[in-house]
Amino acid sequence: MDIFSSKTLESLVMPQADSSKGQNGQITVIGGSKLFHGAPLLALTTASRLADMTFFASPEPSVGSIAEKVKSELFSFIWIPWEEKENYIEKSDAILIGSGMMRYKKEWNDGGGDETREITRDILLKYPNKKWVIDAGSLQMIEPQWIPAGSVLTPNQKEYQRLFGNMDPSAVAKKFNCVIVYKLPLTTVCSPDRCIEIKGGNAGLTKGGTGDVQAGLTVGLLAKNDPFLAASAASFVVKKAADELYKRVGTVYNADDLAIEIPKVFSGI
């Protein structure tokens, strides 16, 4: 199996000197719940550093008020009303769904998990030709047959087991025609045609929110790159950023630190 090389980052489509507003991608992030406000905001923070326009919609009204307050510090996304989400999905180059959406059984008493399931099913089935990153809550409530062709899936180990059991990632990618990011200390990214391993990283990446940072980075890259390159490059950059933080502070860093470190990795491309 091939090992991801930093030289591969040179093949990424990145903003050109003569580009104008809108040419470098538009993305939408769908996520958030009354329990998980921070997850989509971490994804937005990361994604907005790559795409020209970043839109955010949440089924939870309270997330909207929090997003408006956050905009006093983070101005780089546009909060959109939930009922207008489809207008932005249609014009987006890539969409992330699931960050911070409710999923566990203990949350189902108020319908949160059921709502995530319905939203995920309805949106994915309505827009099968869009470029998707599917993460977190949506991965915990999705059925495999809903996965649009070419989607990038970024599950943690429990989410992977729920969906695919003990299937090998290469078999998953072929069966469901998707790109799977199998996140272990040695990460494997598989498309239907090939797999690649990404080395690096450290135990600091077990902290909450780091997966949301990676999902945001993935959708930001996916706007103008093919799914396999976007997924593998995002995994490499996250691990590289984590290793740079480790040199300075060991594992004493969090997802916010990781999001801040990522642009420094790109500065070396």
Using a cut of 0.75, tell me whether the model's pTM lies above it. yes
Are the C-beta atoms of residues 47 and 262 closer than 8 Å to each other? no
Average pLDDT, the chain: 89
At what angle are helices 210-222 and 255-266 packed, to 10 degrees?
Answer: 30
Q: What is the mean pLDDT of residues 52-76?
A: 69
User: Mapping DSSP to helix (H, G, I), strand (E, B) and coil, where does residue 196 land?
Assistant: strand
Q: Is 21 exposed, middle or buried (0-12, 13-18, 19+ CB in 10 A)?
A: exposed
% of the chain exceeding 90 in pLDDT? 69
Residue 64's pLDDT is what?
Answer: 60
Domain ranges of the chain: 20-266
Token output for 136: 């977190």
Q: Mean pLDDT, to the nearest integer, of 155-182?
A: 95
Tens of pLDDT, residue by residue over 184-216, are 889 999 999 999 999 999 999 999 999 999 999
First to last CA, the chain: 24
Pair of tokens at residue 216: 């945001």
Q: Which CATH number fits domain 20-266: 3.90.1170.50, 3.40.50.2300, 2.20.28.10, 3.40.1190.20?
A: 3.40.1190.20
- Region 122-148: mean pLDDT is 95
Rounded Cα–Cα distance for residues 127 and 42 (Å): 25
Displacement of CA 231 from its chain's centroid (Å)? 9
Is residue 72 scored above 60 in pLDDT?
no
Which pair of tokens denotes residue 187? 């990460």
Confidence of residue 269 (pLDDT cuts 50, 70, 90): low
For the chain, give percent helix, strand, coil, nearest 5: 50, 15, 35
Q: Is the pLDDT of residue 102 over 80?
A: no
How far is Cα 152 from Cα 209, in angstroms, rounded to an integer? 18
More confident residue, 4 or 77: 4
